[in-house]
Amino acid sequence: MINNKKIAVFIPAYNTERTIQKTIDAIPRDAVDEIIVVDDGCKDKTAEIVRRNNLHLIQHPHNRGYGAAQKTGYQAALEMGADVVVMVHSDFQYDPTLVKPMAEKVANGEADVCFGSRMHNPGDARRGGMPWWRFAANKALTLLEGAFFKLGLTEYHTGYRAYGRELLARIPFAHNSDNYVFDTEMFAEINLGHFRVAEIPIPTRYSADSQSPNFYKSVEYGLMTLQVIWRFLLHKSGIKSYPQFRIKEKTENN
Ligand SMILES: Nc1nc2c(ncn2[C@@H]2O[C@H](COP(=O)(O)OP(=O)(O)O)[C@@H](O)[C@H]2O)c(=O)[nH]1
Ligand SMILES: [Mg+2]
């Protein structure tokens, strides 16, 4: 609990037997009420490790993708009554101890969502091992997304995010992509819903154990990002309406 708010950590996992235990161990348990792991069709020992830790495990029978794992995780967190859901990647690329300051921004009412940025001090991202082409693409896409989504962030490609309950209840994220671009769609939706945004600096970690989309997947992700921007512009200008961008009204229940 933070500020009497129920805090859930959601971990998307795909074949991360080498890193999931140290990820779980580093989560600050005094602040966190629920830990939900979505096993996205893992073919290794990930599920066994999660079971040993007595956490809330949800399994996809087949691999459905990073976006699909988030849909399952956020839905479960809402059903469990979470007020704040912090996504922590299972490949230990993001420092789990920062769950606390991330969740605090939302739990204390400062923002509806908090992002961890590796690009707050760009030199740190390179020193943390971010490959140069990923760094360049991150910078370029961040400039572009910043121009359209206007959330004032220093990075638009972070996987470290704390979402508040109201935001998750009002964004129809079930209509989002099952793929990596789910994260980009959330930015468009945060703009459309006029949600309040916070950002904290986080360290960058690339190690032998971390997972990342390969070069081909990253190019595909870049193109899908452009497509999201295009759909967002069509929607915002009223030319075309997309179900995923129809942000629900604020009600007593969300
Ligand atoms: N690559 C991949 N990761 C998945 C999938 N489903 C869930 N994940 C998890 O989502 C997280 C983010 O994926 P990752 O490849 O590390 O992307 P990155 O954030 O760009 O480094 C990791 O913790 C994965 O274990 C999937 O279908 N593919
Ligand atoms: Mg990764």
Query: Is residue 89 lining ligand 1, measured as CB closer than 6 Å?
Result: yes
Counting Cα atoms < 13 Å in the Cβ hemisphere of 76 gives 22
Query: Is residue 96 lining ligand 1, measured as CB closer than 6 Å?
Result: no
| pLDDT tens, position by position, 190-228 | 999 999 999 999 998 888 888 888 888 889 999 999 999
Rounded to whole angstroms, what are the CA distances from 192 to 120, 152, 185? Answer: 24, 14, 11
Query: Is residue 202 lining ligand 1, measured as CB closer than 6 Å?
Result: no
The mean pLDDT value for 10-26 works out to 97
| pLDDT tens, position by position, 47-96 | 999 999 999 999 999 999 999 999 999 999 999 999 999 999 999 999 99
Q: Tell me which long-range contacts 52-58 makes (C-beta under 8 A, separation of at least 24).
A: 53/21, 53/24, 55/24, 56/80
Q: Is the pLDDT of residue 253 over 80?
A: no
Domain 7-242 has CATH 3.10.350.10: no
Tokens of 166: 């109201």
Residue whose CA is at the smallest distance from ligand 1 atom 27? 65
Q: Is the pLDDT of residue 252 over 90?
A: no
| pLDDT tens, position by position, 91-135 | 999 999 999 999 999 999 999 999 999 988 878 888 888 888 888
The mean pLDDT value for 14-26 works out to 97
What pLDDT shows up at residue 130? 87
What pLDDT shows up at residue 213? 86
CA of 170 to the centre of ligand 1 (A): 25
Confidence tier at 2 by pLDDT (50, 70, 90): very high
Beta carbons of 48 and 15 less than 8 angstroms apart: no
Helix (H) or strand (E) holding 218: helix 215-236
Query: Is residue 65 lining ligand 1, measured as CB closer than 6 Å?
Result: yes
Nearest atom, ligand 1, residue 93 CA: 21
